[in-house]
Structure 1
């Protein structure tokens, strides 16, 4: 009897968990569809910004612009690297946050080892969006900037512009020599992967890889078309730097948010399926316990009847 009571408690508990995970899955599905719609709207602008930078580099207009020039360091000098890492504010999204954190830490350690072999020092400052990543990286002992507090949820162009202005000033003032973005890129409806891409100085080959194929043809990247700049290419370049940064930040924020909601929806869907499977097994055990109790009661009744009949 005690075993069946325990099973009943477990069944009720798993049922409550299933209802909760199913509700979270439905909420994440709604947020995911909204985030995917925003991403589809954002992607042409993101692609245009990246494609324009690639075009300017191909035309050779970046030679005298510091935002395109990779610094050169002598032995004993320090590379000042900034990492903008986009994680979520909440858990229950599978391995989404840990994959981003792992990708960032592996890249940082790789950079440190490369510079050590060149007799160079490395200073890595981490600007982390999202509570989950910030807390984890602080525990691991990284130099995390505490007052950088921007979430990836519900991204807006105004928030992206604030972050891009902040990045622009850090690089323009010489506080950072290299700036990387670490975020999750969507490959398909269910496949995502964390990536590291250099934002400053502009990396044309890396940008070209980020542009989806369907947008390359639209903007002439694969068609070999020419672009005319007025009044001068340098004037256009200086104006486009801030637009490029804002577009890259906005694209990364939007894709990170869509990835997080997709990961949470998938995780909650799997959790609901696991709860259903556990309920099925517990129900079978409960039925077996109930059947055993009935069998024992029948056996006791038959045994008692036989004793009474023998006494008569």
Structure 2
């Protein structure tokens, strides 16, 4: 059985740690609520830009612009640009390692990759595993803004237009039913009329045939219209993905701190039981020694 002083020191240490994890749980809980409100406020915009893109794509012929292509070479490996949205801070469970595992998986499926990383800790993790990072945007994940999303867009869109990459993908996390985060990998470019657009969780091909879609004439040309629309579309998409990831990160951190608090309380309960047994054994021994001494004096 452990020494009483050792047990007291361990319980004191765990209580000090519990104060920290409990404070971090409260902070992450507050941050999660703020992130969730921002996401709820941005979701109408998020769905509307996708709906607007759906309307435009329905009125475009195939291959009229560089942004819309049909994938005729399924077996060919592509040159891809990845926008990877991770986290700036740790202590969020396996959140960051889950991002890393999926990045390694998707990079193995392409010929080459150009990686644009949002999140200081994610950048450090990728570099430490030998994954090259072309450009990082640190300190952007915790406070997403349209301006920061536009900076990311301005780096990846020229690569696609110049032909340096064949596809642009984004990796981010989304809360599944508001509880567990799911990693999402979606293609941003090129847009494919029959499989790339989702509106409010519904696939483009699932939208009812009876819905009214007006004819849209694009002036001066479809290419000129798309040159204006695509940057705004990508900016909005990246911005809302940043909000989703931030919300998922804070939720993971909140759950990790809650688990840490629960584990600390369980350890304290176990150590207090050990302490009480050790203290009782010490008291019993002291009483036995007193009785033995008194008996020896009588003799």
What TM-score, normalized by structure 1, do the two folds share?
0.86
Alignment partner, residue 103 of structure 1: 102
TM-fit CA distance, 1:206: 5.3
TM-fit CA distance, 1:70: 5.0
Could you tell me whether the CA contact under 8 Å between 2:88 and 2:121 is conserved in 1?
Answer: yes
TM-fit CA distance, 1:52: 2.3
* 2:128 aligns with one of 139, 144, 166: 139
Could you tell me whether the CA contact under 8 Å between 1:51 and 1:207 is conserved in 2?
Answer: no
TM-fit CA distance, 1:291: 0.6
Question: Which SS does the other structure have where 1:128 is aligned?
Answer: strand
String of CA shifts for 1:29-77, please: whole Å, max 9, x gaps. Answer: 11111111111111111111222223333334453111112576799x9
> Are 1:266 and 2:265 counterparts?
no
Contiguous gaps of at least 5 residues in structure 1 = 113-121
Contiguous gaps of at least 5 residues in structure 2 = none
Could you tell me whether the CA contact under 8 Å between 2:173 and 2:248 is conserved in 1?
Answer: yes
Alignment partner, residue 197 of structure 1: 186
Alignment partner, residue 48 of structure 1: 48
String of CA shifts for 1:186-244, please: whole Å, max 9, x gaps. Answer: 1122121111100111245554447336x99xxx9557231453554825433221111
Could you tell me whether the CA contact under 8 Å between 2:82 and 2:171 is conserved in 1?
Answer: yes
> Aligned pairs, how many?
295
> Are 1:229 and 2:216 counterparts?
yes
Could you tell me whether the CA contact under 8 Å between 1:53 and 1:204 is conserved in 2?
Answer: no
Moved more, 135-144 or 281-290: 135-144
Rounded Cα–Cα distance in structure 2 between residues aligned with 1:25 and 1:227:
51
TM-fit CA distance, 1:79: 2.9
* 1:280 aligns with one of 253, 259, 269: 269
Cα gap change, 1:204 to 1:293, in 2 (>3 Å): farther
* 1:307 aligns with one of 274, 296, 299: 296
TM-fit CA distance, 1:92: 0.5
Could you tell me whether the CA contact under 8 Å between 1:32 and 1:261 is conserved in 2?
Answer: yes
Alignment partner, residue 117 of structure 1: none
Cα gap change, 1:46 to 1:204, in 2 (>3 Å): farther
Alignment partner, residue 181 of structure 1: 170
String of CA shifts for 1:61-114, please: whole Å, max 9, x gaps. Answer: 453111112576799x973211111110111001111111111211122x14xx
CA RMSD of aligned residues (A): 2.7
Could you tell me whether the CA contact under 8 Å between 1:229 and 1:236 is conserved in 2?
Answer: no
Rounded Cα–Cα distance in structure 2 between residues aligned with 1:165 and 1:193:
27
Rounded Cα–Cα distance in structure 2 between residues aligned with 1:205 and 1:36:
31
Which consecutive aligned stretches of 4+ in structure 1 deviate over 6 angstroms post-superposition?
Answer: 71-75
Could you tell me whether the CA contact under 8 Å between 2:56 and 2:216 is conserved in 1?
Answer: no
What TM-score, normalized by structure 2, do the two folds share?
0.89
